[in-house]
Amino acid sequence: MADRSVCGGCYEQVNLKMWEHMGHYVIAESEEEATSFLLPELANLGEEPEDKIEWEAMSDKADFHFTPDDGVTTIVKSCADWCADHGKGYFCSENY
């Protein structure tokens, strides 16, 4: 998904994807960047990362169902829409 960020008066194209690793979801431009967002989150949770973190890029058109902490509501958007709304970073985990 292409997002445009203003950078010093010019436009820089940013291609964000939603990435999944063992139930953890991250929004990033690359697998390397996704790993850089995941590792601190795992440390905060007291989890040890695997030796090799393997990512699956989610399709921009795929629906992603998110249930906030209230446990009642479910929000459904495409992965591309979540990327645009949330921006880069750790997104959520289905494990917690």
Per-residue pLDDT reduced to its tens digit, 32-70: 999 999 999 999 989 888 888 999 999 999 999 998 888
pLDDT tops 90 at residue 96: no
Per-residue confidence (pLDDT) for residue 95, from 0 to 100: 76
Among the ranges 17-26, 46-55, 68-77, which has the highest mean pLDDT value? 17-26
Least confident of 67-71, 75-79, 86-90: 67-71
User: In sequence order, what DSSP letters do the residues of the chain get, joined into one string?
Assistant: -EEEEEETTEEEEEE-EEEEETTEEEEESSHHHHHHHHHHHHHHTTPPPPSS---EEPPTTSEEEE--TTSS--EEEEHHHHHHHH-SEEEEETT-
0.75 surpassed by pTM: yes
